[in-house]
Structure 1
Amino acid sequence: MPPSQGSVQHPLRLLAVFGVLVAAIYALVFFTGDKSPTPRLGIDLQGGTRVTLTPRTPDGGKPSKESLKKAQNIIEDRVNGLGVAGSEVTIDGDNLVITVPGDDGGQARSLATTAKLYIRPVVTSLPAQKGGQQQQPPAAQPTTPPTDAAQPTTTPAAPTTETPAPTTEAPQNRVFPAQEPSVPPTTPGGKLTPQQQTQKEIADAKALRQSTDQETQQKAMLSLDCSKPDPLAGNDDPNLPLVTCSTDGSTVYLLDKSALDGQEIKNATATYDSKQGQGWVVDVEFKSGGSDTWGKLTTQYQGKQLAFALDSRVVSAPQVITGGQYGGSTQISGKFSSTTAKELANTLKYGSLPLSFGTSEAETVSATLGLSSLRAGLIAGAVGLAVVLLYCLIYYRMLGLITGLSLVSSGFAVYGIMVLLGRWIGFTLDLAGIAGLIIGIGTTADSFVVFFERIKDQMREGRSFRSAVPRGWTHARKTILSGNAVSFIAAAILYWLSVGQVKGFAFTLGLTTILDVVVVFLVTYPLVLLASRTAFWQKPSVNGLGAIQEYAQERKAAGLATAGKA
């Protein structure tokens, strides 16, 4: 193969790589997920759904400002844990108000999940019946519930042969006291206020379902209706037994007092288990103290069941197969989808709320800025892009066309990525994010200028356009990488320290900075390299480098004249 032919194939391979990347992006856009080719818009551009969370306290009093602030911070962490979703969490009096983009009120409610997790030994269980008419359970005899998807093999940790005592210390940040709350007196009219009614429901449920009397426990198991809302959701006392349902409502459990608090969880991640065929599972990693306790539990309850009770409902009740093995992690499985598994992992990872909340009906809120602001932002970006292209055409002549092709390629890739991020991590594009995209595209134009100026430097030294391009690229790419590294570090620090819409701005700025490097290396450089090897682009009237060539010739002639005189 002739050298010239092989050298031409090199830029073509780079262009082919970029083409494959863009094709893969848009294949995912049009053939996976909801197949909608539009990005998700933020609250300021499309409006959203607002849900008001009313705290429930045992004494019917007002929650403390500290507990409300902590709940707000935890919910914001959960939002950010799934990506840049653009949700807003604010304190309104004694309530929390969550606003999410779009019309999905369920997403706002899921963010307010109390997520009090306790690991409790299973005493007995039986299938649930509609209306709470269960079959008579055996008294205090451990049984295995019907086989379903929530029957994983538990991976234990931290070996020991000691028998642990059940946890008796109240969990940290717990609002509800261990003793039975007293029901406040009724109003003069004999009616209970909503707060008093909630308090009474919690007290009645605790008296029936958290009794230490075996006859009362059997009565609770027979009468519990798993299809109704649970007043004990997140309000159960970990120091008492608990009669409760599985999350799918198929099984009623009698659980012993809590042996391990969910606040001992260090990390939780959602993964797909293809080896054992369990589908989506949540891998849980314990802190050092929780790891030791878990090892003791798996030793004591080897061959028996341990239930993961989340907000007073059993999400999984695995049987311990092997006890006392090293490792501070375990696995929760159940009838999870990818979304529910990620939500559970995110909720456990960032901790339980210090309050239990009741939710109002979701209400639609209008866009704070509206589509007119979106159009104005897009028009401003288009005008700025047109001015940049016009400047490049005037100053660099036909090389300005390469700048335009590169910017269009970058914008094409960015749009597809915005669509995919909206599906995968709930990314929403707001006006601040659009500003980050426009600034990022400007950074891309800066990289082109650096490259072109390095080419002109090489031509001033007397090299031709063809030979100046590869040498100019060798010097330019170092400057381009350094400049983009600084921009990316700044965007990353801003993302880490900021909240709300500023975080969206930093995210899009960092994303376009990465794409700048991709476009310059895979599009701009190979296009300029191909142009330098064609007779048409080598003409000074086409590439706009005639003045530089004349300067180089004059400098060369002056050098020869000086040498002749010497």
Structure 2
Amino acid sequence: MPPSKGTGHPLRLLGVYAVLLAVIYALVFFTGDKSPEPKLGIDLQGGTRVTLTARTPDGSKPSKDSLQQAQQIIESRVNGLGVAGSEVVIDGNNLVITVPGEDGQQAKALATTAKLYIRPVLTSGQAKPGGGVEQQPEQPGAAVPGQPGAEVPGQPGAEVPGQPGTPGAEVPGETPGAQQQSAPTTAEQAPASDESSSGAAAQNRVFPAPAQAPSTPAPTPEPAQPTPGQPGSEQNTKQEIADAKALRQSTDQQVLLQAMQTMDCSKPDPLAGNDDPNLPLVTCSSDGTQVLVLDKSRIDGQDIKDASSGLNQQSTWVVNLTFKNADAWASLTKDYLQKQVAFTLDSKVVSAPVVNAGPQLGGTTEISGQFNATTAKELANQLKYGSLPLSFATSEAETVSATLGLASLQAGLIAGAIGLIAVLLYCLLYYRMLGFLAGFSLVASGVAVYGIIVLLGRWINFTLDLAGIAGLIIGIGMTADSFVVFFERIKDEMREGRSFRSAVPRGWARAQRTNLSGKTVSLIASVVLYILAAGQVKGFAFTLGLTTVLDVIVLYLVTSPLMMLASRSPFWAKPSVNGLGAVQQIARERKAASGTLAGTGTR
């Protein structure tokens, strides 16, 4: 009989699987950190723990709902798809984050972003060591106070020095890929006689420069700066926050200008995460090189739907933003065309790009500048996950020892090896040489699973813990089930009198329906368990689902083609080789018995 559909070219199918393995291990050895080892979970290698202490503007205790919301947001940040092995738990008024590994800085960075606002930039200046700003020449033709949308003469789109990541240009979603062309220009570098260049660093000024402020401004309190190791360094007092607000958040232009002149970006910020979005703000860039005066918030960070990094049409790294409320972003870009808007996290500016076109419709935009893959991804993560209902102070990272350790890992791997050997021995004893084909398929599946786990550790931060190892071991048994079903269907066909050559494709046609039904049920169970479960159970469900899908691939691309090749070989057709002699004997006896009955019936 002709082979069933999909089995006519077994060598091609085996070649496809070989190519897949080659691609997987090319990615393992030639991309990322090139380490061929999977990431291990907290229970196997230990981790790092950071405690976050909630801060509220009035010093009161945070509400339970706000803590739970913050927990969910931070958990989505540190645990990704739920298989990173990280934990975020509520402990009283604190959140405790535990991540695998010993990278304490990474663990603390996961919680550094809290309250995110998008504020227009009114004016800015270079920060001086010890406090204050470099004097900026007055911008001729500055916009009239109270008209934030007024256009400011100068060099449109000039980069603003000191802004992390680029601060360069903001390109509208309608014209993705457009790039900032003008070179960075600062007030210090430009001649004072050149209007366009001298005003580049202060092109967003909407009130007179600090140099024009009255010589005797209204007295304002000096904010108390907490000293590390002293009370208030971890959680600022109500008085410190109140003093900082009185100096740096006011509707009085003179107060803001004086605050700009006295702002010291090198000291800890008592206002961090406690600024009032309905008032202007004097603050620093996150790298401490600039002092900026910002208008009241126009867009809350929770309005950012998504943020991602990627390459544009010019093959340069950019950050793509999508907003929930398209009208708010369109209005902001219309009012501040060729001016800066600042993204502030915990009262510090992480990016202040220039709006190069407006209004930007559709709720999408692109931030471009001097990004690389790392800085673009960092800014995208800050903007995507930067809006929390609370501000937090972080403790020092502490190392957490492995709860189980390498001994448990070795025990789990030994258990898996014993299970694999037991399956192979069973196949060899019961199916003779066909057991070698089953063993080859198991090895092919294991090699692919290992490479995929290594890659998932890099791509989605997947960590392998004991629960995940248990899922892999169960996958071995499920793969063996596929062989058993296939081989038994071949026996059924041979009992009906067919040869080994014709029984294999017919048995495959019957076995694949049974196997697909069983794998579908297992996959559904894995998906439901993954959705409903939490913690390490997610890792178990993930690896179980992964091995289920890979089992189907191996069944079609390895096991079935190998059996088709064996069925066409005189060597494999020998009963002493395939172990099917007893089945063939039963078929002959049935045929002889049916012939005898037929002969008796004719008399």
TM-score under structure 1 normalisation? 0.86
Deviations 1:250-301 (A, max 9, x none): 4332211111112222x213131232454141x22222xx212222222222
Work out the CA distance in 1 between the residues paired with 2:276 and 2:369.
24
Go from structure 1 to structure 2 and tell me whether the alpha carbon gap of 1:341 and 1:425 turns closer, same or farther (over 3 Å shift): farther
Identity %: 68
Conserved in 1, the CA contact under 8 Å of 2:170 and 2:367?
A: no
Conserved in 2, the CA contact under 8 Å of 1:127 and 1:146?
A: no
Give the AA of the match of 1:388.
V
Work out the CA distance in 2 between the residues paired with 1:434 and 1:504.
9
Deviation at 1:337, TM superposition (A): 5.0
Work out the CA distance in 1 between the residues paired with 2:251 and 2:475.
64
Higher helix share: 1
Work out the CA distance in 2 between the residues paired with 1:58 and 1:424.
38
Q: Say whether 1:357 aligns with 2:395.
A: no
- Secondary structure, in 3 states, of the residue corresponding to 2:168? coil
**2:301 counterpart residue number:** 262
Conserved in 1, the CA contact under 8 Å of 2:169 and 2:355?
A: no
Work out the CA distance in 1 between the residues paired with 2:110 and 2:534.
17
Q: Say whether 1:514 aligns with 2:528.
A: no
* Residue of 312, 315, 323 corresponding to 1:274: 312
**2:84 counterpart residue number:** 85
Following superposition of structure 1 onto structure 2, how do residues 59-98 of structure 1 map, counting pairs within 5 Å?
A: 59-81=58-80, 84-98=83-97
Go from structure 1 to structure 2 and tell me whether the alpha carbon gap of 1:230 and 1:194 turns closer, same or farther (over 3 Å shift): closer
Conserved in 1, the CA contact under 8 Å of 2:116 and 2:344?
A: yes
* Residue of 140, 154, 174 corresponding to 2:171: 154
* Residue of 280, 297, 301 corresponding to 1:241: 280
- Secondary structure, in 3 states, of the residue corresponding to 1:38? coil
Work out the CA distance in 1 between the residues paired with 2:590 and 2:92.
77
Deviations 1:112-165 (A, max 9, x none): 2343222212212223344334222448765755367222333268xxxxxxxx
Please list every run of 5 or more consecutive structure 2 residues that lacks an aligned counterpart in the other structure: 144-151, 175-219, 225-229
Work out the CA distance in 1 between the residues paired with 2:307 and 2:481.
40
Deviation at 1:421, TM superposition (A): 1.1
Conserved in 1, the CA contact under 8 Å of 2:346 and 2:391?
A: no
Q: Say whether 1:208 aligns with 2:222.
A: no
Deviations 1:276-327 (A, max 9, x none): 454141x22222xx21222222222233332222332223333333323531
Following superposition of structure 1 onto structure 2, how do residues 467-486 of structure 1 map, counting pairs within 5 Å?
A: 467-486=502-521
Give the AA of the match of 1:454.
R
Does 316-325 or 396-405 show the bigger shift?
316-325
Deviations 1:362-391 (A, max 9, x none): 111111111111111111111122211111
* Residue of 466, 472, 493 corresponding to 1:458: 493
* Residue of 582, 587, 596 corresponding to 1:561: 596
- Secondary structure, in 3 states, of the residue corresponding to 1:85? coil
Go from structure 1 to structure 2 and tell me whether the alpha carbon gap of 1:59 and 1:382 turns closer, same or farther (over 3 Å shift): same
Work out the CA distance in 2 between the residues paired with 1:338 and 1:82.
22
Across the aligned residues of Structure 1 and Structure 2, the Cα RMSD in angstroms comes to 2.9
**2:108 counterpart residue number:** 109
Following superposition of structure 1 onto structure 2, how do residues 369-384 of structure 1 map, counting pairs within 5 Å?
A: 369-384=404-419
- Secondary structure, in 3 states, of the residue corresponding to 2:362? coil
Does 242-251 or 492-501 show the bigger shift?
242-251
Give the AA of the match of 1:257.
K
Go from structure 1 to structure 2 and tell me whether the alpha carbon gap of 1:209 and 1:154 turns closer, same or farther (over 3 Å shift): farther
Conserved in 2, the CA contact under 8 Å of 1:537 and 1:543?
A: yes
Work out the CA distance in 2 between the residues paired with 1:442 and 1:509.
11
Conserved in 2, the CA contact under 8 Å of 1:48 and 1:365?
A: yes
Conserved in 1, the CA contact under 8 Å of 2:522 and 2:548?
A: yes
Go from structure 1 to structure 2 and tell me whether the alpha carbon gap of 1:64 and 1:195 turns closer, same or farther (over 3 Å shift): farther
Length, aligned pairs only: 529
Does 324-333 or 345-354 show the bigger shift?
345-354
Work out the CA distance in 2 between the residues paired with 1:344 and 1:192.
32
- Secondary structure, in 3 states, of the residue corresponding to 1:124? strand
**1:252 counterpart residue number:** 291
Deviation at 1:100, TM superposition (A): 0.7
- Secondary structure, in 3 states, of the residue corresponding to 2:277? coil
* Residue of 325, 328, 351 corresponding to 1:316: 351
Go from structure 1 to structure 2 and tell me whether the alpha carbon gap of 1:79 and 1:305 turns closer, same or farther (over 3 Å shift): same
Give the AA of the match of 1:318.
P
Work out the CA distance in 1 between the residues paired with 2:369 and 2:131.
23
Following superposition of structure 1 onto structure 2, how do residues 281-360 of structure 1 map, counting pairs within 5 Å?
A: 281=319, 283-287=320-324, 290-333=325-368, 338=373, 341-342=376-377, 344-346=379-381, 348-349=383-384, 352-360=387-395
Give the AA of the match of 1:208.
L
Deviation at 1:464, TM superposition (A): 1.0
TM-score under structure 2 normalisation? 0.81
- Secondary structure, in 3 states, of the residue corresponding to 2:49? strand
Deviation at 1:83, TM superposition (A): 5.2
Q: Say whether 1:385 aligns with 2:402.
A: no
Work out the CA distance in 1 between the residues paired with 2:7 and 2:331.
67
Work out the CA distance in 2 between the residues paired with 1:473 and 1:108.
51
Q: Say whether 1:528 aligns with 2:534.
A: no
Go from structure 1 to structure 2 and tell me whether the alpha carbon gap of 1:337 and 1:439 turns closer, same or farther (over 3 Å shift): farther
Deviations 1:407-463 (A, max 9, x none): 111111111111111112111100001011111121111111111112112212221
Work out the CA distance in 1 between the residues paired with 2:317 and 2:455.
23
Give the AA of the match of 1:224.
M
Conserved in 2, the CA contact under 8 Å of 1:491 and 1:510?
A: yes
Q: Say whether 1:493 aligns with 2:528.
A: yes
Deviation at 1:233, TM superposition (A): 2.8
Does 110-119 or 483-492 show the bigger shift?
110-119
Give the AA of the match of 2:338.
G
Deviations 1:78-137 (A, max 9, x none): 233365210111222332211111101122222223432222122122233443342224
Go from structure 1 to structure 2 and tell me whether the alpha carbon gap of 1:333 and 1:221 turns closer, same or farther (over 3 Å shift): farther
